[in-house]
């Protein structure tokens, strides 16, 4: 059904349409509408779920762990301080191989308090074993939340999935959204092979010696690796059934581009407008939008031989932009020319804490790019 929705409401609607069984969540700006909408859906009977209004995020993920351990479909949502407050549980839920789905409204961390968009919150969780998607429209938020349940619950994956929405920019924007009236069997019933079974008692998370621990960790990596095929299948089947196509990443005018802007979230959409402007000036620009950060896609072919400008709405202090470093690592060969010389990505740090970044600013980043350089947008010393 064609409707009009905010990003937050899109997530809550997908949670309803997926017939989620347990939702445990704690309010935090700018995610709160997801919690409120879900509370409303449960109160009105539109969603026959148990909604647990927990007392903190450590407990929201705790409750999700407990629920998912019994084998039911489980969801939570959070943002910034909430996400890092549940950090222990983030690691534990992944290592427990629980198919929990969570929406995260990307927001800066304090101090000072700031409720604007920033990706450092979720990207600082990238080593936990959670799959991570970054969406850029209300429609994509709805669609990806639905897919997330299928991907997380797949027996070859059994890892939690985080869907990231830029705080305010996407959580609060109202856009057209087409909801799916009948999912058919797109989402098979949750079937967690290691769900608690009274008839098959055993210890979960039992003391594990050094001779065994690493095997469990290696198994997470295997799940992560296998998840690529599962994601691709979930996306292809989604396109076939519902007509909307998604990839591991999304390309805009990249084929003939001399310079490619790489970004995640809403900045990548805004970059498309910048690319249009640059093309009018004769600069052949394209945009590559990172949709899945974990598992991280192979971008070598996509970026081979191009100038690359990476916009990070995040930072790893002492290293650099997180995206640009992931890209340098995973697509290193793309940046080495036939002559053996390197043409490294230009790194731009922009949009932290909701800093205003326009398509004109992005066009400027491209015009002023320097191979291997780093620019902090707005810093003037």
Partner 1 sequence: MAEIPDEEFILKTTSACAGCSASLILRYVTKAAGKDTVLVIPACCTSVIQGVYPNTAVNVPVYNVAFASAAAVASGMSEAFRAVGKKTNVICFAGDGGTVDIGIQALSGALERGTDFLYICYDNEAYSNTGMQRSGATPIGAKTTTTPLGKNEYKKDLDAIVEAHNPVYMATACSAYPVDLYNKVKKALSIPGPKFIHVLSPCPPGWRFPSEKTIELGKLAVTSGMWLLYERENGKLTITGASKAAMKKSTPIEDYLKAQGRFRTATPEDIAMLKENSKRKMARLAHEAEAQAAEAEEA
Partner 2 sequence: MYEIRLHSRGGQGGVTAAKLIAQAAFLDGKYATATPLYGAERRGAPVVSFIRIDDKPIRIYSQIRKPDLVIVLDTSIMQTVDVLAGLKADGKVLVNSQHPMELGSHKVYHTDLTGIALSLDLVLAGNPILNTPLLGAVAKAGIISRESAQKAISSVFADDRNTKAAVKAFEDMEP
The residues binding ligand TPP (CB under 6 A) are: 27-28, 57, 81-82, 85
Q: How far is the CB of 266 from partner 2 (least distance, A)?
A: 4
Helix, strand or coil for residue 228?
helix
Residue closer to ligand TPP, measured from CB, 81 or 289: 81
- Partner that binds at residue 110, options partner 2, partner 1, ligand TPP, none, CB closer than 5 to 8 Å by kind: partner 1
Q: How far apart are CA 49 and CA 284, in angstroms?
A: 50
| Tokens coding 172 | 């609060």
Show contacts with partner 2 in window 231-250 (CB under 8 A). Answer: none
- 359 scored as a contact of partner 2 (CB under 8 A): yes
Given a contact cutoff of 8 angstroms between Cβ atoms, the answer to whether 300 and 265 are in contact is no
Q: Which tokens belong to 148? A: 């997330």
Q: Which listed option, ligand TPP, partner 1, partner 2, none, makes contact with residue 214 (CB within 5 to 8 Å by class)? A: none
Three-state secondary structure call for residue 324: helix
Listed in sequence order, the residues at least 6 apart from 318 whose beta carbon sits closer than 8 Å to its beta carbon are: none
Residue with smaller CB distance to partner 1, 112 or 340: 112
- State yes or no: residue 378 binds partner 2 (CB under 8 A): no
Specify the stretch interacting with partner 2 by CB under 8 A; choose among 59-67, 87-95, 170-178, 211-219: 170-178
Binding at 43: pick from partner 2, ligand TPP, partner 1, none (beta carbon under 5-8 Å per type): partner 1
Among residues 79 and 266, whose Cβ is nearest to partner 2?
266
Regarding 365 and contact with partner 2 (CB under 8 A), the answer is no
Q: CB 6 → partner 2: shortest distance, Å?
A: 8
Going by C-alpha positions, the residue among 378, 304, 377, 317 that lies closest to residue 347 is: 377
- Using the structure block, give the residue that is written with the tokens 């000072």: 112
How many Å apart are CA 58 and CA 72, to the nearest integer? 20
Residues in contact with partner 1 by the rule CB under 8 A = 26-29, 32, 35-36, 39-40, 43-44, 53, 55-56, 81, 85, 110-113
Q: What is the CA radius of gyration of the chain?
A: 21
The option from partner 2, ligand TPP, partner 1, none interacting with 172 (CB < 5 to 8 A, set by class) reads: partner 2
Residues 71-130 that bind partner 2 (CB under 8 A): 115
Length of the chain: 381
Q: How far apart are CA 316 and CA 57, in angstroms?
A: 24
Query: What count of Cα atoms within 13 Å lies in the side-chain half-sphere of residue 310?
Result: 24
Q: CA 316, CA 243: separation in Å to the nearest integer?
A: 38
In the complex, which residues of this chain contact partner 2 (CB under 8 A)? Answer: 4, 115, 166, 168-170, 172-176, 266-267, 269-270, 272-273, 356-359
């Amino acid at each position: 059904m064609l409707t009009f929705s905010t990003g937050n409401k899109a997530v809550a609607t997908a949670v309803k349409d997926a017939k989620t069984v347990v939702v445990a969540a704690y309010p935090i700006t700018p995610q709160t509408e997801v919690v409120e909408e879900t509370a409303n859906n449960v109160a009105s009977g539109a969603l026959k779920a148990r909604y647990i209004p927990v007392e903190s995020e450590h407990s929201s993920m705790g409750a999700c762990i407990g629920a998912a351990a019994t084998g039911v479909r489980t969801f939570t949502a959070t943002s910034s301080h909430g996400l890092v407050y549940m950090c222990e549980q983030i690691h534990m839920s992944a290592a427990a191989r629980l198919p929990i789905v969570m929406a995260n409204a990307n927001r800066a961390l304090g101090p000072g308090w700031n409720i604007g968009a920033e990706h450092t919150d979720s990207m600082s969780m990238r080593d936990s074993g959670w799959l991570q998607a970054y969406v850029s429209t209300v429609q994509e938020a709805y669609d990806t939340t639905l897919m997330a349940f299928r991907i997380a619950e797949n027996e070859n994956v059994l890892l939690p999935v985080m869907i990231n929405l830029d705080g305010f920019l996407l959580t609060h924007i109202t856009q057209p959204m087409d909801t799916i009236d009948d999912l058919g069997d797109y989402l098979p019933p949750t079937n967690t092979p290691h769900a608690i079974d009274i008839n098959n008692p055993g210890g979960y998370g039992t003391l594990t010696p050094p001779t065994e621990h690493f095997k469990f960790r290696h198994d997470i990596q295997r799940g992560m690796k296998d998840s690529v095929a599962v994601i691709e299948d979930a996306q292809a089947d989604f396109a076939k059934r519902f007509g909307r196509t998604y990839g591991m990443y999304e390309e805009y005018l990249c084929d003939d581009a001399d310079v490619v802007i790489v970004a995640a979230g809403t900045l990548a959409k805004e970059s498309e407008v910048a690319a249009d402007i640059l093309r009018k000036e004769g600069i052949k620009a394209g945009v590559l939008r990172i949709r899945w950060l974990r598992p991280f896609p192979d971008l070598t072919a996509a970026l081979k031989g191009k100038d690359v400008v990476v916009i990070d709405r995040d930072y790893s202090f002492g290293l650099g932009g997180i995206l640009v470093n992931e890209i340098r690592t995973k697509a290193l060969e793309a940046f080495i020319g036939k002559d053996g010389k390197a043409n490294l990505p230009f790194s731009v740090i922009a949009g932290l804490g909701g800093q205003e970044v326009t398509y004109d600013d992005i066009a400027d980043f491209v015009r002023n790019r320097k191979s291997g350089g780093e620019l902090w947008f707005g810093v003037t010393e």
